[in-house]
Amino acid sequence: MTTKTESKLEKLLARGEFVISGEIGPPKHAGPEGIVKHAENLKKYIDAANITDNQTAIVRMSSIAAAFHVLRSGLEPVIQITCRDRNRIGIQSDLLGAYSLGMRNVLCLSGDHQSFGNHPTAKNVYDIDSIQEIKLVKDMRDSRKFLCGEEIKQNEPRYFIGGVANPFADPLEFRVARLEKKINAGADFIQTQAIFDMGRFEKWMEMVRKRGLHERTNIIAGLIPLKSHKAARYMQKFVSGMLVPDEIVYRLEKAKEPQKEGVELCVEQIKHLKQIEGIKGVHIMAVAWEEIIPTIVEKAGLFPRPSL
Amino acid sequence: MSEFYPKIVAFCCYYCAYSAADLAGSMRLQYPSNIRLVEVPCSGRVDVLMILKAFEKGADGVYVAGCLEGDCHFLKGNYRAKKRVLYAKKILDEIGIGGERLEMFNLSGSSGPRFAEIAEEMVTRISKLGPSPLNSRLVSFPNCKDATAGN
Amino acid sequence: MIVAENKPFHDILGLIEDAKKILIVGCGGCVAVCLSGGEKEVGVLASALRMSRKKEGNPLETVEVTLPRQCDPEYMDMLKGYVKEDIDCILSLGCGVGVQFIAERFSKWVIPAQNTKFAGGTIAHGIWEERCGLCGECILYKTGGICPIIRCSKSLLNGPCGGSQNGKCEVDKNLDCGWQLIYDRMKKFGKLDLLLKIEPPKDWSKSRDGGPRKVVREDVKIS
Record: contact C55-B97, CB cut-off 8 A = yes
Per-residue DSSP letter, A47 = S
Task: Kindly list the distances between the CA atom of residue C56 and the CA atoms of C9, C49, C51, C68, C90, in Å, as whole numbers in the listed order.
Answer: 15, 11, 9, 34, 21
Cis peptide before C200 (omega within 30 of 0): no
| pLDDT tens-place string over residues C179-193 | 999 999 999 999 999
CB–CB of B148 and C68 under 8 A? no
Render pLDDT for A185-213 as a digit per residue (tens, 0 to 9).
999 999 999 999 999 999 999 999 999 99
Pairing of strands B8-13, B61-66: parallel
| CB-defined contacts B:C, below 8 A | 82
Q: Which long-range contacts (CB under 8 A, 24 or more apart) does B76-83 make?
A: B76/B44, B77/B13, B77/B42, B77/B43, B77/B44, B77/B45, B78/B13, B78/B42, B78/B43, B78/B44, B78/B106, B79/B44, B80/B43, B80/B44, B81/B43, B81/B44, B81/B46
Q: What is the CATH code of the structural domain delimited by A8-299?
A: 3.20.20.220
Contact yes or no for B52 and C66 at CB 8 A: no
The pLDDT value recorded for residue A1 is: 63
pLDDT of residue B140: 42
Chains B and C touch, using 3 or more CB pairs below 8 Å: yes
Q: Does B138 touch chain C (CB under 8 A)?
A: no
Question: Could you say which of C155, C157, C180 has the minimum Cβ distance to residue A170?
Answer: C180
Tens-digit pLDDT profile for residues C60-112? 999 999 999 999 999 999 999 999 999 999 999 999 999 999 999 999 999 99
What whole-number distance in Å separates Cα of residue A246 and Cα of residue A239?
15
Q: What is the pLDDT of residue C217?
A: 96
Please indicate whether, in this complex, the C-beta atoms of C198 and A184 are within 8 angstroms of each other.
Answer: yes
Cβ(C32)–Cβ(B151) below 8 Å: no
Give the integer Cα–Cα distance in Å for A139 and C223.
Answer: 50
Q: What is the structure's pLDDT at B139?
A: 43
Nearest alpha-carbon partner for C93 in C131, C38, C12, C149: C38
Burial code of C36-75, b = ≥16 C-beta within 10 A, e = fewer?
bbbbebbbbbbbbbbbbbbbeeebbbbbbbbbbbbbeeeb
- Average pLDDT, stretch B29-47? 95
- Name the B residues in 25-64 with CB < 8 Å from any C CB: 47-49, 52-53, 55-56
Quick one: how far is CA B58 from the chain centroid? 12
A35: nearest Cα among A78, A79, A73 = A73
Candidates 3.30.70.2190, 3.40.50.1970, 1.10.150.120, 3.40.50.2300; correct CATH number of C2-118?
3.40.50.1970
Please give the biggest Cα pair distance in chain B: 52
Residues of C in contact with B102 (CB under 8 A): none
How far does the CA of residue C80 sit from the closest CA of chain B (Å)?
A: 11
Contact B12, B37 (CB under 8 A): yes
Identify the band that residue B3 occupies on the pLDDT scale cut at 50, 70 and 90. confident
Q: How many CA atoms lie within 13 A of C169 on its CB side?
A: 22
Best of C146, C147, C154 to disrupt the A interface (most A CBs within 10 Å) is C154
Question: Which subunits have 3 or more CB–CB pairs within 8 Å of chain A?
Answer: C
pLDDT of residue A121 exceeding 70: yes
The structural domains of chain A, with segments of one domain joined by +, span 8-299
Q: Are A243 and A175 in contact (CB under 8 A)?
A: no
Q: Are strands B61-66 and B102-106 parallel, antiparallel or unpaired?
A: parallel
What is the tens place of the pLDDT at every residue in A245-280? 999 999 999 999 999 999 999 999 999 999 999 999
CB contact under 8 A, C47 and B140: no
Measured in angstroms, the CA of C28 and the nearest CA of chain B are apart by 9
Model confidence over C153-177: pLDDT tens digits?
Answer: 999 999 999 999 999 999 999 999 9
Neighbours of B, requiring at least 3 CB pairs below 8 Å, are: C
Q: What is the mean predicted confidence (pLDDT) over A19-28?
A: 97
Q: Which of A113, A190, A191, A239 to mutate to test the interface with C (most CBs of C within 10 A)?
A: A113
pLDDT score at A241: 86
Dihedral sign (CA A126, A131, A136, A141): positive
Distances (CA, A) of C43 to A109, B27, C196: 51, 40, 53
Candidate from B55, B137, B148 with C-beta closest to C66? B148
Instruction: Tell me if B44 sits within 8 A of B81, measured CB to CB.
Output: yes
DSSP state of A43: T
Q: Which of residues 76-115 of C touch B (CB under 8 A)?
A: 78-79, 81-82
* B150: contact with C, CB 8 A cutoff: yes
Q: How far is C153 from chain A (nearest CA, A)?
A: 8
CA end-to-end span of chain B, whole Å? 46
Task: Please say if the pLDDT value at position A134 is more than 50.
Answer: yes
Rounded mean pLDDT, A212-217:
97
Query: Does the structure show a pLDDT above 90 at C25?
Result: yes
Sheet holding B102-106, edge to edge: B35-40, B8-13, B61-66, B102-106
The Cβ of residue C78 has, within 10 Å, a number of other Cβ atoms equal to 14
DSSP calls for A73-106: TT--EEEEEESSS--HHHHHHHHHHHHHTT--EE
Cα distances from B36 to residues A21, A251, B20, B32, B90, in angstroms, run 79, 70, 15, 10, 23
Residue type, B96: G
Q: Read off the CATH number of the domain in which B36 is found.
A: 3.40.50
- Report whether A70 contacts A77 (CB < 8 A): yes
Measured distance CA(A198)–CA(A279) in Å, rounded: 13
Average pLDDT over residues A123-147: 98
ipTM higher than the 0.90 cut: yes
Q: Which residues pair with A165 in a beta bridge?
A: A192
Tell me which of C143, C161, C206, C207 to substitute to probe the interface with A (most A C-beta atoms closer than 10 Å).
C161
CB contact under 8 A, C162 and A193: yes
Interval A233-241 mean pLDDT: 90
Which pairing describes strands A77-82 and A105-109: parallel, antiparallel, or unpaired? parallel
Q: Do C170 and A126 touch (CB under 8 A)?
A: no
Cβ within 8 Å, pair B134-C55: yes
User: Are C195 and A174 within 8 A, CB to CB?
Assistant: yes
Give which of C5, C24, C44, C64 to mutate to test B binding, by max B Cβ within 10 Å: C44
Q: C62 contacts in B (CB within 8 Å)?
A: 144-145
Please answer yes or no on whether A113 and C158 come within 8 Å at the CB atom.
no
pLDDT tens digit sequence for B43-84: 999 999 999 999 999 999 999 999 999 999 999 999 999 999
Tell me which residue of A297, A288, A269, A291 sits closest to A231, measured CA to CA.
A288
- Interacting residues of B94 by C-beta distance below 8 A, sequence separation 6+: C9, C10, C48, C52
Angle, CA of B8, B12 and B16, to the nearest 5°: 140
* Domain locations in chain C as residue ranges: 2-118, 133-210
d(CA A132, CA A274): 31
Spatial distance between the Cα atoms of A71 and A51, rounded to a whole number of angstroms: 11
Say which DSSP state A145 is in.
Answer: B
pLDDT band at A2 (very low <50, low <70, confident <90, very high): confident
Give me the torsion for CA of C11, C17, C20, C22, rounded to 10°. -30
Cβ(C76)–Cβ(C102) below 8 Å: yes
Chain A window 238-257: which residues touch C at a Cβ cutoff of 8 Å? 240-241
Q: What is the spatial distance between Cα B6 and Cα B129, in angstroms, rounded to a whole number?
A: 10
Mutate which: C21, C45, C49, C54, vs B, most B CBs within 10 A: C54
Please tell me which of the candidates C51, C57, C79 has its beta carbon nearest to residue B137: C57
Task: Please calculate the CA angle A173-A176-A181 and round it to the nearest 5 degrees.
Answer: 125
Looking at residue B1, its pLDDT comes to 46
A23-52 average pLDDT score: 97
Contact A169 C155 (CB under 8 A): no
Whether pLDDT at B138 is above 70 = no
Q: Minimal Cα–Cα distance from C83 to chain B, Å? A: 13
Residue B129 pLDDT greater than 70, yes or no = yes
H helix count then E strand count, chain B:
4, 5
Chain A residue numbers touching C170 (CB-CB < 8 A): 112-113, 116, 240-241
**pLDDT score at A219:** 98
pLDDT of residue B2: 56
The answer to whether residues B64 and B85 touch, using CB atoms and an 8 Å cutoff, is yes
Q: In terms of CA atoms, which chain C residue is nearest residue A84?
A: C154
Q: Which domain holds residue B43?
A: 8-129
Q: CB of B86 within 8 Å of any CB in chain C?
A: no
Chain A residue whose CA is closest to C200 = A132
Per-residue confidence (pLDDT) for residue B142, from 0 to 100:
46
- Verify whether the Cβ–Cβ distance C198 to A164 is below 8 Å: no
Average pLDDT taken over every residue of chain A: 96
Do residue C64 and residue B145 have CB atoms under 8 angstroms apart?
yes
Measured in whole angstroms, the distance separating CA B55 from the mean position of its chain's CA atoms is: 10
Contact C62 B48 (CB under 8 A): no
Chain B residue with the nearest C-alpha to that of C28: B151
- Give the mean pLDDT of A224-253: 93
pLDDT confidence of residue C131 = 98
Sheet with C2-6, edge to edge strand ranges? C2-6, C114-124, C127-132
Element (H, E) at B78: helix B77-95
Locate the chain A residue with the closest alpha carbon to C167: A170
